[in-house]
């Protein structure tokens, strides 16, 4: 469909049915008549669960303020694909964030199965129940009498999609269930308090992603937990030992050039950012900048294959959920609680530079698998150790693992770690704003041992706050550049 034929349709809480209104005017239904110039009363009028869709590719559906129940008659049909010159748009009215509320146990609130060249924006996507799908505890489990939905956004075989300014929360299972994607951008979006996972890439066969995949200015938190509709509080948190899942973000086997920037991932009941299933191809890579990962119950960040981790704060407080909700001891600190796990495949380069990493896992930076053709570059990082969660009389390792990769350490600083790699300074107090694990604050104070101690890396000219590097005589070690 060419953009010349694109039409804008409207949805309002005071609109009418498909027979009452044409959907082509941002006006309420006047109360009588058919085919009136007024808005529809629900997005499912545009994309009914059966029959013909009432919008076509390149059209825009503008949803007005208020709350709209979807799914009582089955989930909506997929959004029709746009074109390379004009996307199909499903957007909340400017200045508002309408709420799409999944009910009836619907499998998905918004359907992007096979949808390409689409923009979705300014929406609150949730359901109307506190329950968690298939929870091991009956008091938290969804039943047919409850108004719940399984997935917020479902996508498969989908390309060139832009999701932005969304709040995807409180779904009974997954906030986003999406795989087989290419050239997606997710921006200014929250994916919080969804019952089994935040973003789950398992869509069955053909779930591998490709092309540039961007997550920017995103919060992913408290997934593996239910959400109280009345207060927004997390509850009923669970994980794999009792049949749950709990990753903040996870894929199946995948390719792609992933860019993860300004992402806050915290308090998920398993791993925070799980890129363990990258395919390791020379054309695939994960780049993370300014990630703040803290208090996830598994690994905070794990990556396979080529990677760059830069200007990030990674805090492995993996026992946060001890004694809380329905979490078990076996759910805490999966994979030994390593804060940053690098998995290699042969011929990979993993670069970790200008990060502040702390935690109670066995090692703060761990590397495994691969061959001697891999390279691991650890540069200008501050690593702070704490008592090992399994044996509090033992400090955690700065780094460790069995990978035969060629490893290079330069400009790093360790504090209270069990080992100190060659060339690493481990005797200067980093003097951070908080050096307690439960309140860890990586910002250096006056007199910190990290100030003006890092060799210059020409490719790194800013810090965790996107402030200029260096300030002073030289760069500072770690994620922050000290500013008096």
Please list the residues that pair with 310 across neighbouring strands. 289, 353
> Do the domain assignments include residue 353?
yes
Pairing label, strands 8-16, 60-63: parallel
> Do the domain assignments include residue 48?
no
> 409: burial class by Cβ within 10 Å (0-12, 13-18, 19+)?
middle
Q: What is the pLDDT of residues 93-150, one digit of tens each?
A: 999 999 999 999 999 999 999 999 999 999 999 999 999 999 999 999 999 999 999 9
| 60 sits in which H/E element | strand 60-63
* Over residues 252-272, mean pLDDT: 98
Whether pLDDT at 4 is above 70: no
Confidence of residue 484 (pLDDT cuts 50, 70, 90): confident
> Do the domain assignments include residue 296?
yes
Beta strands in 232-304 (DSSP E): 234-235, 249-250, 257-266, 273-275, 285-289, 292-294, 301-304
> In the structure, how many helices (H) and strands (E) does the chain have?
1, 35
> Do the domain assignments include residue 294?
yes
> Do the domain assignments include residue 347?
yes
Asked whether the beta carbons of 250 and 164 are under 8 A apart, the reply is no
For 170: left if phi > 0, alpha if psi spans -120 to 50, otherwise beta; the answer is left
> Do the domain assignments include residue 185?
no
> Do the domain assignments include residue 154?
no
CA 444 to each of CA 204, 434, 448: distance values in angstroms, whole numbers, following the listed order: 46, 9, 6
> Do the domain assignments include residue 27?
no
- Domain residue limits at 345: 271-484
pLDDT at residue 5, as a whole number: 82
Whether pLDDT at 259 is above 70: yes
The values of phi and psi at residue 138, to 5°, are -60, -30
CA 381 to each of CA 372, 418, 431: distance values in angstroms, whole numbers, following the listed order: 23, 16, 15
Asked whether the beta carbons of 58 and 83 are under 8 A apart, the reply is yes
- Count: domains in the chain: 1
pLDDT at residue 424, as a whole number: 96
Confidence of residue 405 (pLDDT cuts 50, 70, 90): very high
Cα 165 to Cα 183: distance, rounded to the nearest angstrom: 18
> 315: burial class by Cβ within 10 Å (0-12, 13-18, 19+)?
buried
Whether pLDDT at 1 is above 60: no
pLDDT at residue 224, as a whole number: 98
Write the CB contacts of 366 (distance below 8 Å, at least 6 apart in sequence).
336, 338, 340, 341, 342, 399, 400, 401
């Amino acid at each position: 469909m060419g953009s010349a034929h694109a039409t804008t349709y409207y949805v309002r809480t005071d609109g009418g049915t498909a027979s009452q209104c044409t959907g082509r005017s941002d006006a309420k239904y006047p109360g009588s008549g058919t085919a009136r110039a007024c808005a529809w009363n629900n997005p499912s009028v545009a994309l009914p669960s059966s029959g013909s869709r009432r919008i076509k590719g390149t059209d825009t559906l503008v949803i007005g303020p208020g709350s709209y129940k979807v799914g009582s008659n089955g989930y909506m049909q997929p959004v029709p694909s746009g074109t390379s010159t004009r996307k199909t748009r499903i957007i909340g009215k400017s200045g508002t964030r309408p709420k799409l509320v999944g009910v009836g146990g619907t499998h998905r609130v918004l359907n992007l199965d096979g949808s390409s060249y689409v923009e979705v924006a300014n929406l609150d996507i949730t359901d109307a129940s506190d329950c968690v799908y298939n929870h091991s505890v009956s008091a938290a489990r969804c039943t047919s009498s409850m108004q719940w939905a399984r997935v917020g956004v479902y996508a498969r075989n989908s390309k060139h999609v832009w999701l932005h300014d969304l709040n995807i929360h409180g779904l009974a299972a997954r906030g986003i269930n999406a795989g087989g994607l290419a050239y997606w951008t997710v921006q200014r979006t929250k994916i919080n308090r969804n019952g089994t996972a935040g973003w789950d890439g398992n869509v069955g066969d053909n779930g591998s992603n490709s092309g540039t995949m961007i997550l920017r200015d995103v919060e992913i938190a408290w997934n593996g937990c239910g959400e109280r509709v009345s207060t927004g509080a997390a509850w009923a948190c669970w994980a794999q030992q009792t049949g749950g899942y709990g990753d903040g973000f996870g894929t199946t086997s995948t390719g792609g050039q992933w860019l993860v920037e300004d992402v806050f991932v915290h308090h998920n009941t398993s791993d925070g950012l799980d890129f363990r299933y990258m395919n390791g191809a020379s054309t695939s890579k994960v780049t993370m900048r300014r990630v703040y990962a803290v208090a996830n119950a598994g690994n905070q960040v794990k990556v396979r294959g080529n990677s760059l981790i830069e200007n990030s704060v990674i805090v492995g407080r993996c026992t946060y959920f001890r004694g809380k909700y329905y979490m078990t001891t076996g759910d805490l600190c999966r994979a030994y609680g390593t804060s940053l796990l690098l998995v290699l495949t042969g011929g990979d380069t993993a670069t970790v530079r200008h990060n502040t990493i702390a935690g109670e896992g066995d090692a703060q930076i761990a590397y495994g698998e691969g061959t001697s053709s891999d390279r691991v570059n650890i540069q200008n990082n501050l690593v702070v150790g704490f008592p090992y969660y399994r044996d509090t009389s033992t400090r955690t390792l700065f780094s460790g693992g069995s990978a035969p990769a060629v490893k290079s350490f330069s400009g790093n600083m360790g504090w209270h770690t069990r080992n100190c790699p060659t060339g690493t300074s481990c005797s200067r107090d980093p003097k951070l704003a908080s050096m307690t694990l439960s309140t860890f604050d990586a910002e250096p104070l006056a007199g910190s041992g990290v100030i003006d101690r890092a060799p210059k890396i020409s490719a790194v000219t800013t810090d965790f706050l996107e402030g200029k590097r260096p300030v002073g005589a030289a760069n500072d070690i770690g994620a922050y550049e000290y500013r008096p």
